[in-house]
Structure 1
Amino acid sequence: MTTFLGRHSEADDHIAQLVWLGHDVRVVSGGDDKAGVLEAFATGLDLPDWFGHNWDALLDALRDLDAPRGVPIELVWDHAASLRARDRTAFDTVVDILEQVADERDDLHVTVVTR
């Protein structure tokens, strides 16, 4: 499941509520272009050394994210508006990847914040 929040939404309250509910909240911030967003995911999620900074590698790395047993992961991609404005194709690709992984995993939910 993917939740989309806009620039006028209460994204910080949403994140705080997820933490309060006991979710393993992981926030990735920004990215102005393909390289920048891939680097943001690599650093924000502390992806493994084998991460190749391409779309396929991002998909594989997200599939392999570990979480404590029984604790849902909430992956928050925050400040995504810049990429959406500059490169809509790259933005749509990231959203597609996030939605694919969320559909494959029962323990992972996604929030995209376009502020």
Structure 2
Amino acid sequence: MTTFLGRHSEPDDHIEQLRWLGHDVRIVSGGEDRESVLDAFATDLALPDWFGRNWDALLDALRDLDPSREAPIELVWDHAGTLRARDREAYDTVVDVLEQVADERDDLNVTVITR
């Protein structure tokens, strides 16, 4: 499942609610272009060394994302609005990758915040 939130929809409250529910919340922040988005995912999620910084590698790395405990993972892509405004095609590709992983994994949900 993917949840989309804008800057006026209380995204911080949403994140706190997920934590209160016991979800394993993992936040990836921003990205202004394709390269910086891939770098943000690599850094913020501590993706493995084999991560090749391309869309296919991102999909594979997210498929292999290990849960840290027996709780659903909530993958939050925060501050996605800059990429959406600057490069809609790259933004749509990231959303497609995130939704594909969420569809494949029962233990992972996605929130996209476009503030």
For Structure 1 versus Structure 2, the TM-score category normalised by the shorter chain is: over 0.9
RMSD: 0.7
Say if 2:27 and 2:44, in contact at 8 Å, map to a contact too.
Answer: yes
1:44 pairs with 2:41: no
Instruction: After TM superposition, list the pairs within 5 Å mapping 1:24-103 onto structure 2.
Output: 24-103=24-103
Tell me the residue number matched to 2:22. 22
* Cα displacement (A) at 1:7: 1.2
> How many residues get paired?
115
Helix, strand or coil: the match of 1:22?
coil
Once residues 25 and 77 of structure 1 are traced to their aligned partners in structure 2, the CA distance between those partners, rounded to angstroms, is 11
Structure 1: runs of 5 or more not aligned: none
TM-score normalised by L of structure 1: 0.98
Structure 2: runs of 5 or more not aligned: none
Q: Which amino acid aligns with 1:85?
A: A
Deviating 4+ runs (over 3 angstroms): none
Helix, strand or coil: the match of 2:76?
strand
Once residues 63 and 39 of structure 2 are traced to their aligned partners in structure 1, the CA distance between those partners, rounded to angstroms, is 17
Helix, strand or coil: the match of 2:3?
strand
TM-score normalised by L of structure 2: 0.98
Q: Which amino acid aligns with 1:76?
A: V
Once residues 68 and 91 of structure 1 are traced to their aligned partners in structure 2, the CA distance between those partners, rounded to angstroms, is 27
Say if 2:24 and 2:69, in contact at 8 Å, map to a contact too.
Answer: no
Instruction: After TM superposition, list the pairs within 5 Å mapping 1:100-115 onto structure 2.
Output: 100-115=100-115
Helix, strand or coil: the match of 1:15?
helix
Q: Which amino acid aligns with 1:112?
A: V
